[in-house]
Amino acid sequence: MNWLLIFLAFSSWAAGEDGSQLEISHLARSLQPGEAVLLKAHSPVPLSSMQVEAFGKAFVFYPTEDGRVWEGLVGIDLETTPDDYSLSLTGFTIGGVPVEATYSLRVLDKEFPTRRLTVEEKFVNPPQQELERIRRESKRTREIFAAFNPEKIWHSSFQSPVPGAPTSGFGKRSILNGQPRSPHTGTDFDADEGTPVKSPNTGQVVLVSPLYYSGNTVILDHGQGLYSYFGHLSRFAVAEGDRVSPGEVIGYVGATGRVTGPHLHWTVRLNGTRIDPLSLIAILADQDGE
């Protein structure tokens, strides 16, 4: 019971030299809206579970070594207000004793550029008869992203789904046919029509469907609240319920839905937070090199 008090008393970066305290660190490209952050906690005693409460959401941790080293992905949503945020970590020892800590992150401002696109008018002001379909599709994708699958399906690092360079960045404010629309919540990759789109990691296929705005769309559940969404495909190569391996072809690049030409759109959601897929690739690649 003695060391419970020690755990409750420690704070961020307060790594005990004597090993009696939890040691917390983070890895990120930057602490800005739209970035994924990898948190790491070293515990002097083995734990059976750990989670973190950050930005009003709970993100789960997974053990990496013998229950003493835990990691967890946290998303700083695209529209997070720059400020100092306190994260609360809670773990439990094998015996069920709670271990708690706080860690602070300072989220800095980010200026997202504006993009002006010209698309077919029906994608800016959809006709009346399509509104019901659009509402239904948006409800379905919201429900998928809100579902929490406790299984950690993904592992190791994330790979780019196509060889081409990313072209249109995440978070850009969009002005379509002169009218402001919601920010770009994914990253676009330049690729020719028909280029195979490869799964960036292991995933469970939870949606394969033509959607009004994103055209032929595939959603992968990577587990623990992490999802990938691929849009504008010409063709599908998977079916709902399939489990795909990293590098497995899920479909082919196309120009379906609201587009100006063939490209791949990749959106990532982490417990509902909208984060740049490239930040996920970057932080997990760095870690592999350790």
Please give the Cα distance from 30 to 191 (Å, whole number): 28
In the complex, minimum distance from the CB of residue 195 to Zn ion, in angstroms, rounded to a whole number: 15
**Per CB under 5 A, does 33 bind Zn ion?**
no
Please give the Cα distance from 242 to 204 (Å, whole number): 6
Nearer to Zn ion among residue 223 and residue 231 (C-beta): 231
Please give the Cα distance from 269 to 69 (Å, whole number): 25
Q: Which of residues 174-233 bind Zn ion (CB under 5 A)?
A: 186, 188
Kindly indicate which of the ranges 88-96, 114-122, 253-261, 263-271 contains the residues binding Zn ion, using the contact rule CB under 5 A. 263-271
In the complex, minimum distance from the CB of residue 188 to Zn ion, in angstroms, rounded to a whole number: 4
- The pattern of x and - marking residues 151 through 170 that bind Zn ion according to CB under 5 A reads --------------------
In the complex, minimum distance from the CB of residue 14 to Zn ion, in angstroms, rounded to a whole number: 42
Q: Is 267 exposed, middle or buried (0-12, 13-18, 19+ CB in 10 A)?
A: buried
Query: Total number of residues binding Zn ion (CB under 5 A)?
Result: 3
Phi first, then psi: give them for residue 214, nearest 5 degrees.
-95, 10
Residue 42's alpha-carbon distances to 10, 84, 156, in angstroms, are 13, 23, 19
Residue 181's alpha-carbon distances to 136, 173, 263, in angstroms, are 19, 7, 20
Kindly indicate which of the ranges 132-140, 155-163, 213-221, 262-270 contains the residues binding Zn ion, using the contact rule CB under 5 A. 262-270
**Per CB under 5 A, does 172 bind Zn ion?**
no
**Per CB under 5 A, does 276 bind Zn ion?**
no
Q: Is 256 exposed, middle or buried (0-12, 13-18, 19+ CB in 10 A)?
A: middle
In the complex, minimum distance from the CB of residue 232 to Zn ion, in angstroms, rounded to a whole number: 8
Kindly indicate which of the ranges 58-66, 75-83, 203-211, 264-272 contains the residues binding Zn ion, using the contact rule CB under 5 A. 264-272
Q: Which DSSP letter does residue 164 get?
A: S
Q: State the residues that interact with Zn ion by CB under 5 A.
A: 186, 188, 265
